[in-house]
Structure 1
Amino acid sequence: MTKPMNPKCPIHNQRMWRRITQHGALYVCTVDACDILKWGDGDFTTPADTVTRARRHAAHGIFDKLWQDKHMTRGEAYQLLSGHLDKHVKSTHIGLFDVCECEATIAFANMMQKRILLEKFT
């Protein structure tokens, strides 16, 4: 089996360097001052700039509460999100999202949290 190639920086189209950190694999762009990074070796995240990574983090923080607080299963939450975003459930991974998809995820999660609260008190 061949080793997968390092991802390319979407800005500079150059292979990224792989470094092992205490948090796992980290890919960084080879161009000085470029803020494109990718965490992990898996297919569920893409290289992203600082703004996109921050929005992905925010989206996870809000969206994950839907299933972590036992309002629904993780699978149900992602199924609902995939329908809301009009994406196939297998491509509904926040680590693949751009800023607009992250904002839509945050809005969806906030709407669902409000709906859950309304159902709880009615």
Structure 2
Amino acid sequence: MKTVIRAFFRTVRTVLGPFMLLKERLTQPSGVVREPSAQTTVNLQCKNLVLYQFNTCPFCIKVRQEMRRLSLPIEKRDAQHNAAYRAELLQGSGATKVPCLKITDATGQSQWLTDSAAIVAYLRGRFAKV
């Protein structure tokens, strides 16, 4: 039964995926325009962030749209098609749930946010005022 359910959802993703990606591309928000020095600061802060995601996941699309709106150059890792990234995600967060934002602090400690609403709230709280 589990195999049938997975096959069903894989088929749905295959059929709807291109339409979701097209909608994402057509509805891209315009990014925040910051002073060059402020954007440089944001770019440096984003070096400590990594988004683990699937291309056609609607929750990942929501996070990517917010990243565009806030002009955040956060590294994106496709955990669906890259086994190494999937393994990192599983080891770090304990699950392969996406979207997942890895936040590394100055001491090298990592925190993992696994809910799209929490990720968007974190990004807005940290970068909307900069």
Give yes or no for TM over 0.5.
no
Bigger relative contact order, structure 1 or 2 (CA pairs below 8 A, ≥6 apart): 2
Larger Rg: 1
TM bucket, shorter chain: 0.3 to 0.5
Scaled by the length of structure 2, what TM-score is found?
A: 0.31
> Going by fraction, where is helix more abundant, 1 or 2?
2
Scaled by the length of structure 1, what TM-score is found?
A: 0.32
